[in-house]
């Protein structure tokens, strides 16, 4: 099943309307930055984001929805999850830093979201289910479930700069590192009566593992920009440059077969001039 133009879920930016299997271009966003060399008494400076980043995520599509005002109990949550895709939740860290106090990310997250071209139904992923992570402290009762709903999905992020013949892996992670299960995410999202509808897309959050090379963002990989990420042939990155192409891949490995999601790919273009 391919996705052409799914309706974006609550508080999510719209995915690429083409579900591109190739590099979908993204213009670098502009912003009012909060940077160390800007004196507090001076006004902020408008211009292109200098700290453009990726976030390795996965997301799931809602199947059947729920009525407004009727929460989905965790015992029924699985019935409302149709399938999964790879996601790059692009982030402009300087915009995010400027606006997250006191209201939280807005322009730092809303400019782009890329998903992979194939929706893999949960039935195809159930052979790769693994035990849920131990949660301490124990969640409140409405979020507790014994059903295994964590999945062994191998994930990789590669970066290809302009002039590079192929992408260089910068991250290898796994969906099983997620602390909260999708059942808990969906249940919590609806606990206040929020109505989910077929086609809503809910993202996992950054998927970072325990090792340094499994961190799911350049912010983490570069230790907040203090350490370069080596790409070889004399190139390094701390954050994304114009012309960089990000390729996210993921698969489940079975006995003699593989379940994949296609490539989740996007390329950074220069910022557009002010309107």
Residue 39 has pLDDT above 70, yes or no: no
User: Can you give the three-state secondary structure of 237-264, one letter per residue?
Assistant: ECCCCCCCEEEEEEEEECCCCEEECCCE
Mean pLDDT of 15-44: 60
Residue 172 known to bind ligand: no
Angstrom distance (rounded) from CA 170 to CA 113: 20
Is 230 known to sit in a ligand binding site?
Answer: no
pTM flag (> 0.75): yes
- Classify the phi-psi angles of 123: left when phi > 0, otherwise alpha if psi is within -120 to 50, otherwise beta: alpha
Residue 135 assigned to a binding site: no
Q: Which residue has the higher pLDDT, 144 or 29?
A: 144
Which 8-state DSSP code applies to residue 211?
Answer: S
Which pLDDT band, with edges at 50, 70 and 90, does 26 fall under?
confident
242 assigned binding-site residue: no
109 labeled binding residue? yes
* Domains, in order of start, for the chain: 27-269 (3.90.850.10)
To the question of whether residue 244 is assigned a binding role by annotation, the answer is: no
Question: 107-155, pLDDT tens digit by residue?
Answer: 999 999 999 999 999 999 999 999 999 999 999 999 999 999 999 999 9
Q: Is 206 annotated as a binding residue?
A: yes
Residue written as token pair 């990155």:
237
Across 71-98, average pLDDT: 96
Q: Is the separation of the CB atoms in 142 and 183 below 8 Å?
A: no
pLDDT at 103: 80
Q: How many Cβ atoms are within 10 Å of 211's Cβ, its own excluded? A: 9
- To the question of whether residue 113 is assigned a binding role by annotation, the answer is yes
pLDDT in tens, 215-264: 999 999 999 999 999 998 889 999 999 999 999 999 999 999 999 999 99
Pick the closest to residue 57 from 250, 244, 239, 222 (CA basis). Answer: 250
């Amino acid at each position: 099943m391919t996705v052409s133009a799914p309706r974006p879920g609550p508080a999510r930016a719209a995915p690429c309307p083409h579900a591109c299997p190739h590099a979908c271009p993204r213009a670098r966003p502009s912003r009012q930055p909060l940077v160390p060399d800007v004196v507090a008494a001076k006004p902020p400076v408008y211009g292109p984001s200098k700290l453009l980043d990726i976030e390795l995520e996965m997301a799931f599509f809602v199947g059947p929805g729920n009525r407004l005002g009727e929460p989905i109990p965790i015992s029924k949550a699985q019935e409302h999850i149709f399938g999964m895709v790879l996601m790059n939740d692009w982030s402009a860290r300087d915009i995010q830093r400027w606006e997250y106090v006191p209201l939280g990310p807005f322009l730092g997250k809303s400019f782009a979201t890329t998903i992979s071209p194939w929706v893999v139904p949960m039935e195809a992923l159930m052979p790769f289910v693994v035990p849920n992570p131990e949660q301490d402290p124990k969640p409140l009762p409405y979020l507790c479930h014994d059903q295994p709903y964590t999945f062994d999905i191998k994930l990789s992020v590669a970066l290809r700069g302009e002039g590079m013949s192929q992408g260089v892996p910068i991250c290898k992670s796994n969906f099983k590192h997620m602390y909260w299960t999708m059942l808990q995410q969906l249940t919590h999202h609806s606990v206040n009566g929020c109505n989910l509808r077929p086609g809503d897309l809910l993202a996992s959050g950054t998927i970072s593992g325990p090792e340094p090379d499994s961190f799911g963002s350049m912010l983490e990989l570069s230790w907040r920009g203090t350490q370069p990420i080596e790409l070889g042939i004399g190139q390094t990155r701390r954050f994304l440059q114009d012309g960089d192409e990000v390729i996210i891949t993921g698969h489940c490995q079975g006995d003699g077969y593989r379940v994949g999601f296609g490539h989740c790919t996007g390329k950074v273009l220069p910022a557009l001039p002010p309107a």
